[in-house]
Amino acid sequence: MNEDGTVTPDETGEPEDSGASKKAPAPVPYARFQEVVQQRRSLETKLTDAQNALTAAETSKLEAVRKYDELDTSTKAAIDELNAKLLIGTETLTKYKDIVSATVSDTTKEWPEEVLMFDPGADADPALRLEWAQKAKLLVAKLATPATGGAGTSPKPLPKQSAAEQKQITPSIDIKRSF
């Protein structure tokens, strides 16, 4: 401290300037001050809005991730359940195919080859194979019965006649030929 009561720059801890700092700053016009204050308030509002938007985006992102995780978990559980049902269904279908194949094989072992060539096969749908076996059974039954006269290409046999009847018919045939 000086003798006149002023503080020296060494005592205040401030660096010593060349005397320019001891002068009071020039006054700022009020209009410029208001402009700077408005800019500051505007920037603070923009910052607050940006922070709120960021918080809302983070919240919505967290909500979307939570919903995705829930859907993922429920979907995986549903897929696992359906895969278990599929496995049971596949095993059941295999059993039915084996039963149908054995039944059809036992039924058709003495059938003609012409009928067996239309068999859909052991890998076909069991219902289709059973339907084929029923239809083919009717065809085999038809093929096994002897053919009766009727719808054939051979002429109908004439009834047997006595010799007198034959002579009586023969002259009429001769007469017809002479015309």
Q: Are 130 and 107 within 8 A, CB to CB?
A: no
57/150: higher pLDDT: 57
Q: Model confidence over 96-145: pLDDT tens digits? A: 888 888 888 888 888 888 888 888 888 888 888 889 888 888 888 888 77
Q: What is the model's pLDDT at position 127?
A: 87
Q: Are 139 and 119 within 8 A, CB to CB?
A: no
Q: What is the model's pLDDT at position 85?
A: 96
Helices 126-144 and 30-108, axial angle in degrees (round to 10)? 20
Predicted confidence band at 44 (pLDDT cuts at 50, 70, 90)?
Answer: very high
Considering only the C-alpha atoms of the chain, give the largest distance between any 2 of them, rounded to a whole number of Å.
185
Q: Model confidence over 51-61: pLDDT tens digits? A: 999 999 999 99
| pTM for this model (two decimals) | 0.43
150/25: higher pLDDT: 25
Residue 54 in tokens: 């960021």
Residues comprising the chain, all counted: 179
Q: Are 140 and 111 within 8 A, CB to CB?
A: yes
The amino acid at 113: E
